[in-house]
Structure 1
Amino acid sequence: MALQRDSLKADSIARKNGQLPGALLPGHRIVAFYGNIRSKGMGILGREPKDQMMRKFDKVLAEWQAADPSLPVMPALHSVTITAQGAAGADGKYRLMNSKSTIEETRAWAKQKNAILFLDVQVGLSDLEHELPKLTEYLKDPTIHLGIDPEFAMQTKGVRPGKKIGTYDAKDVNYAINFLARIVSENHLPPKILMVHRFTQGMLTNYKNIKLDPRVQVIMDMDGWGNPTLKKDSYKAYVEKQPVQYTGFKLFYEYDIKPKGSHLMTPQEVLTELNPKPLYVQYQ
């Protein structure tokens, strides 16, 4: 019997400047609206009626394109698809996956917009090995990418989501990279993007052990909220000082303006005050 070839150990990966054909980064800046189309509370994606939200999105995309004409803006919808829960559920894992119809409707919204789609995963007391395979069929779509959120990864904490900030280790991120790389190889797809949320030191351990693969482009996204000074400090501490590959930055329509004297940073501020300039920007 012939040995089955492991698609992760692909015979040859055509590289051009270390880039595979169809790689979105660093040739674009991705600007994403985050949330869930069925939830008003999770982010801008579901907070407003669809048409109103899309008009707002168009305005934001135009602002980013004007702020840096050198880089084409790529719109993205970033949908929380497996969501941490306050209730344990039948198997005690504190997470729930969106219905197929919700995922398909979100995919349709993205296609209408010529946007890429991120499926975001909050594992609760489960783990990536059990959750990511549920998304395999969707990830075979070349326009669909993945986000993982350590804040709600509670296995090592042993408490339900929301009690403490969760954590991933490099080995978890490597699992996600390998998972995506295999889908890319087996389905002859352009590289996938893996976005990892981060706003504290403890949310990601042993970052130096993350093993990059040209089939997967990794974004570390600084997603803390608060006044601009605090956000910039967090970006410097956890993204600039512990770089993995590409960087992201999150803006919160509701929470960034809460502290007294605070405001939502403009595209111009983000580009002039953060180094490196983030190639992924998310609005919640």
Structure 2
Amino acid sequence: MKKPLFAFLILPILFLVSSCNRGKAADIENGKDKTTTVQTDSVKEPIIQTIDTIDFNKRMVALSNNDTTGRWPVKAPYPLAGALLPYNRIIAYYGNLYSTRMGILGEIPRAQMLKKLQGEVAKWQAADPSVKAIPALHYIAVTAQGAPGKDNKHRMRMPFKQIDTILSWAKPINALVFVDIQVGHSNVKDEVTNLVQYLSMPNVHLGIDPEFSLKNGEIPGSKIGTFTADDINDAIDILVDIVRKNKLTPKVLVVHRFTQGMVKNYKNIKKVPEVQIVMDMDGFGDKVLKKDSYVSYIYREPVQFTGFKLFYKNDIRKNWVMYTPEELVKFTPKPSYIQYQ
């Protein structure tokens, strides 16, 4: 599914451990809780964190909408205590403060935007009362560029003061913050490392976009890019280190996807207690096309949790109709992360 390649076109000046697998029947039958033990590099004593695994398993089965293929729920280690998923559904507004074209975050004034976001959260809460709906601001902190720039990386890092602004906007409504990267000719490791000071904050999480990862020198926007499992694992490794060193609850990692080729070797993506991975169906179009993409690339290639992107403008072109929360909670599996652009 093709999506508009305008994410790099902003202002002219920017030319722009537990080793136990979840879902073991014996654990459910015996009513056991699992204990996750984390040994950090800087702390000699292990940190003991526990979750109610019976409740966790039930919630994961509910998210799977009783899938009978064995794909869902995905087998993975139990998360550290305090994990956001599957206990919450994240409702995020996406964008960049330099552009009114990259998403609702940055398109309309702050107060209006936050009120609208809270309205969407309420709709999702009504559609599925069994899961708490919570708000998030998903900010594009690194934008792919058509011009090479001084370092020839075809990407621009936004000033940290913009991330500070997003953090201040999130605080009054107790929203999560996601920092998102479009690497251009750079790489995941370098761009995520540059954001460690923010990812070390408890309420800040990460998004990575393979669309703008051009490994063979192409100009961003000229073709759709790719992440391998190794690229995604680089992000996971950094997040694991951050969680352990700062004694944090698990980080959420959102990976955008709307074609088969955007993610390679998905089976090799690491699953760890410190990180919760969301594969986000990121394309726009009519309902039939969007559902087909969700089934083909998200459902059939299970990683851990799923997401779904909704476009206020591009999902209603050509007399298309945007999906409603009531419709999306009937999907298999139910998406845990919803992004509005």
**Aligned: 1:281 with 2:338:** yes
Q: Deviation per CA, 1:18-65, whole angstroms, max 9, x where unpaired? A: 131110000000000000133201100011111111221121111111
Aligned partner of 1:57 in structure 2 is 117
**Aligned: 1:33 with 2:93:** yes
Q: 1: distance between equivalents of 2:87 and 2:118?
A: 20
Q: CA deviation at 1:14?
A: 3.7
**Structure 2: segments with no counterpart, 5+ residues:** 1-39, 54-77
Q: Which amino acid aligns with 1:265?
A: Y
**TM-score, scaled to structure 2:** 0.78
Q: How does 1:53-132 map to 2 (within 5 A)?
A: 53-132=113-192
Q: Deviation per CA, 1:62-111, whole angstroms, max 9, x where unpaired? A: 11111111111111000000110111100110111111211100111111
Contact 2:188 2:232 in 1 (8 A): no
Aligned partner of 1:190 in structure 2 is 249
Q: Deviation per CA, 1:207-240, whole angstroms, max 9, x where unpaired? A: 0011111100000000010001100000000000
DSSP-derived class of the 1:257 partner = helix
Q: 1: distance between equivalents of 2:126 and 2:49?
A: 34
Q: How does 1:1-284 map to 2 (within 5 A)?
A: 6=41, 14-16=49-51, 17=53, 18-155=78-215, 157-258=216-317, 260-272=318-330, 274-284=331-341
Contact 2:41 2:245 in 1 (8 A): no
Q: 2: distance between equivalents of 1:182 and 1:194?
A: 14
Q: 2: distance between equivalents of 1:199 and 1:62?
A: 27
Q: 1: distance between equivalents of 2:163 and 2:194?
A: 12
Q: Which amino acid aligns with 1:163?
A: S
Q: Against the structure 1 CA distance between its residues 90 and 229, is the aligned structure 2 distance closer, same or farther, given a 3 Å change threshold?
A: same
Q: 1: distance between equivalents of 2:79 and 2:107?
A: 37
DSSP-derived class of the 2:315 partner = coil
Contact 2:252 2:275 in 1 (8 A): yes
Q: 1: distance between equivalents of 2:166 and 2:47?
A: 35
**RMSD of aligned C-alpha atoms?**
1.4
Q: 2: distance between equivalents of 1:172 and 1:150?
A: 9
DSSP-derived class of the 1:278 partner = coil
Q: Deviation per CA, 1:245-279, whole angstroms, max 9, x where unpaired? A: 00000000011111x2311111111112x210000
Q: 2: distance between equivalents of 1:154 and 1:112?
A: 38
**Structure 1: segments with no counterpart, 5+ residues:** none
Q: Deviation per CA, 1:143-171, whole angstroms, max 9, x where unpaired? A: 0000000000112x320110110000001
DSSP-derived class of the 1:194 partner = strand
Contact 2:79 2:272 in 1 (8 A): no
DSSP-derived class of the 2:211 partner = helix
**TM-score, scaled to structure 1:** 0.94
Q: 1: distance between equivalents of 2:149 and 2:47?
A: 44
Q: Which amino acid aligns with 1:55?
A: K
Q: 2: distance between equivalents of 1:24 and 1:58?
A: 18
Q: Which amino acid aligns with 2:89?
A: R
Contact 2:79 2:275 in 1 (8 A): no
Q: Which has the larger radius of gyration?
A: 2
Q: Which amino acid aligns with 1:124?
A: G
Q: Deviation per CA, 1:95-132, whole angstroms, max 9, x where unpaired? A: 11111211100111111220000000000000012111
Q: Which amino acid aligns with 1:271?
A: V
